[in-house]
Every structure is written in C-alpha cells, then in structure tokens.
C-alpha cells in the first residue's frame, strides 16, 4: 500500500532534541548554546573536565534543572511529563552507595525499580500470585541481563563495587527504560568489572535497542565502546563519531588553552584525523 512507507533511519524521529540550551546554576552560566540530537540505539560518551557541566546536562534532560534559555524535547514532550515516565533510566555513581543500615537483597533493590505510582497501591500487590508474575519476570530478566543471578538473594552491602553498580543498572532495566543516562558509573571499578559493564551496555544498545548517554572520566574505556563522543566544556566542543575524536593537542585548541602535563581528562592521543573540522 502507498501509505506503508519503509521506515528509513532518517524518518525515525529523534528521542531527544536539545535546542539552543542555556542553563544557569546559582546565577552562573554552566551550559551555553547547547544543540544536541540523539536517536534510538545510539551509545554516546559524554566527556569533559571537572565542572564542565556534564551532570548539569543530564539533570536538565531529566527535567530536574530548568533551562534559562532554549528547549529540551524528549519523546516528543518536555522533560518530566507523562510521556517520560518509565522510559528514562538514570544511574549515578552515588546510586550504588547505599547507606549501611539499609538492608536489601539484589532482588529487592531491583524490584524497587518496578514500583511506580501506578502499582504501589494496586490490587496486584495485595494478590502476589496474580499480575505480579509479570513484574517478577521483569525483575529476574533484568538481574540476568547484568549477570547477577548467582547473588540474587545476597544483601547488596556484601557485593563488590562493580556488582553493586550492576544491581543499580538492573534496577533501571527492570523499569524497561528505553533511554539510559549514566553519570560516572565506572568510578571505583576494577578493570574487569569496568570492561564487563561496558560490554553489557554495548549489548543493550545492539540487542535490545536501548539508547545510552554515559558520562565518564575514563576516556580510554569510553572510547572503546561508545559510537559517538561529545566533549563538553560549557559548550559542546566536539560531537561526532568516536573514531574522529580529537587528540590532546586539538582538544586543547578546542578549549582555547595550551595543553599541560596534567590533563583534566585521561587521554591517550590518537592520530589526528583531517576530517575533523
Ligand atoms: N548545586 C549546585 N549549585 C550551584 N552550582 C553548581 C551546583 N552543582 C554544580 N554546580 C556548578 O555547575 C558547574 C558544572 O557542574 P557539573 O555539571 O556538576 O560538572 P561536571 O559533572 O562536568 O563535573 C560547576 O561550576 C559547578 O560548580
Ligand atoms: Mg558530574
């Protein structure tokens, strides 16, 4: 039929459009002139020096911080509206630091991700063997996806840092979030845990069609996995395919400073690619 057009990549609407965004915090401009478009299935690494506005950008996308100027449209709506709930997952490094006195098993922690205003006081929670089965399946699937099924009934406080971070990611997955924002999830992880987390996130993009925007200080690690990189320092200084990400000297040029011995981000120089404008 004429009306059934083949869905071309170019015709699929983006899930996030940020337009001419300026954000101020305590009267100071933190983000300026930000334009950003993200499509389903992308894995984007967001890097930049300390205090460059990375967390501020995530908090703005989540609707926690309001734009001073410009607009954010996510799933065709403004952040934090009805369309938004359950579709966005947020994982911060701090999220895996649970207070010691909180005693929760991995299963319980992940199950908390499925509690929403909709089901908190629903009949299904009074009749655990009815429609709660679907919810339990989601919890188990999420735990399996992050490879924690062997410690499902173990107290979260007894897990390693890497395992705890995976549990927090499983909680985001259990909500069936389509777009997952991660703020420095690799901090404090050893190399093995870090690599397996990156592999998990990569699989989520390729096999489950999730979209990932991840802030990381670990440029080497993020560059191995992300398909697209954004370098932010108040403005977006670079946004492009990972293989075109500039080397240290070019980054310093983009930032308008001379490179020093102590770079604020960890960079292994890569050959300069002429195509970067
Ligand atoms: N709660 C806050 N109130 C006022 N300013 C803040 C607050 N949090 C961060 N800032 C400032 O906003 C700027 C960007 O911070 P942030 O987004 O946390 O940077 P990053 O995540 O890149 O390290 C910094 O100058 C920081 O001092
Ligand atoms: Mg931050």
Residues 6+ apart with CB under 8 A from 269: 247, 248, 249
- CA distances in angstroms from 122 to 20, 119, 127, 171, listed in the order given: 42, 5, 9, 20
Query: Does 60 map to a domain?
Result: yes
Taking phi first (over 0 means left), then psi (-120 to 50 degrees means alpha), and beta for anything else, what does residue 67 get? beta
Number of domains comprising the chain: 1
Ligand at shortest distance from the CA of 29: 1
Ligand at shortest distance from the CA of 30: 1
Query: Does 63 map to a domain?
Result: yes
Residue 53 belongs to domain spanning: 1-86+226-277
- CA dist., res. 108 & res. 122, Å (int): 18
Atom of ligand 1 nearest to the CA of 59: 17
Query: Does 33 map to a domain?
Result: yes
Ligand at shortest distance from the CA of 54: 1
231 lines ligand 1 (CB under 6 A): no
Q: What is the CATH number of the domain that holds 270?
A: 3.40.50.300
pLDDT tens digits, the chain, 277 residues: what are they? 344 444 455 567 899 999 999 999 999 999 999 999 999 999 999 999 999 999 999 999 999 999 999 999 999 999 977 767 778 888 887 666 766 677 889 999 999 877 654 444 444 444 444 457 777 888 998 899 888 999 999 999 898 888 888 898 888 888 878 999 999 988 777 788 788 888 888 988 988 899 999 999 888 889 989 999 999 999 999 999 999 998 877 777 777 665 554 444 444 333 333 333 3
24 lines ligand 1 (CB under 6 A): no
**CA nearest ligand 1 atom 25, residue:** 51
**So what's the pLDDT on residue 200?**
85
Residues 6+ apart with CB under 8 A from 159: 106, 151, 167
Query: Does 23 map to a domain?
Result: yes
> 22, 32, 56, 215: which to mutate for ligand 1, most atoms within 8 A of CB?
56
260 lines ligand 1 (CB under 6 A): no
């Amino acid at each position: 039929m004429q009306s059934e057009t083949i869905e071309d990549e170019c015709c699929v609407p983006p899930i996030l459009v940020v337009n001419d965004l300026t954000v101020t915090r305590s009267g100071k401009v933190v983000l300026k002139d930000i334009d950003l478009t993200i499509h389903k299935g992308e894995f984007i690494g967001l890097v930049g020096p300390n205090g460059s506005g990375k967390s501020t950008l995530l908090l703005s996308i989540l609707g926690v911080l309001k734009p001073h100027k410009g607009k954010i449209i996510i799933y065709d709506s403004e952040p934090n509206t009805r369309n938004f709930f359950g579709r966005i997952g947020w994982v911060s490094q701090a999220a895996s630091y649970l207070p010691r006195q909180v005693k929760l098993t991995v299963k319980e922690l992940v199950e908390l991700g499925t509690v929403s205003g909709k089901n908190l006081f629903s009949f299904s929670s009074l009749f655990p063997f009815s429609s709660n089965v679907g919810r339990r399946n989601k919890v188990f699937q999420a735990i399996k996806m992050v490879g924690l099924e062997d410690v499902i009934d173990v107290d979260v406080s007894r897990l390693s840092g890497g395992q705890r971070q995976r549990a927090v990611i499983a909680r985001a997955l259990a909500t069936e979030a389509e777009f997952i924002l991660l703020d420095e999830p690799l901090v404090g992880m050893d190399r093995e845990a870090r690599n397996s987390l990156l592999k998990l996130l990569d699989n989520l993009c390729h096999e489950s069609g999730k979209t990932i925007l991840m802030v990381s200080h670990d440029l080497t690690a993020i560059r191995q996995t992300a398909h697209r990189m954004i370098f932010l320092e108040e403005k977006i200084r670079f946004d492009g395919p990972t293989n075109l990400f500039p080397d240290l000297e070019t980054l310093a040029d983009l930032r308008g400073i001379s490179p020093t011995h102590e770079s604020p981000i960890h960079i292994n120089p890569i050959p300069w690619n002429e195509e970067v404008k």
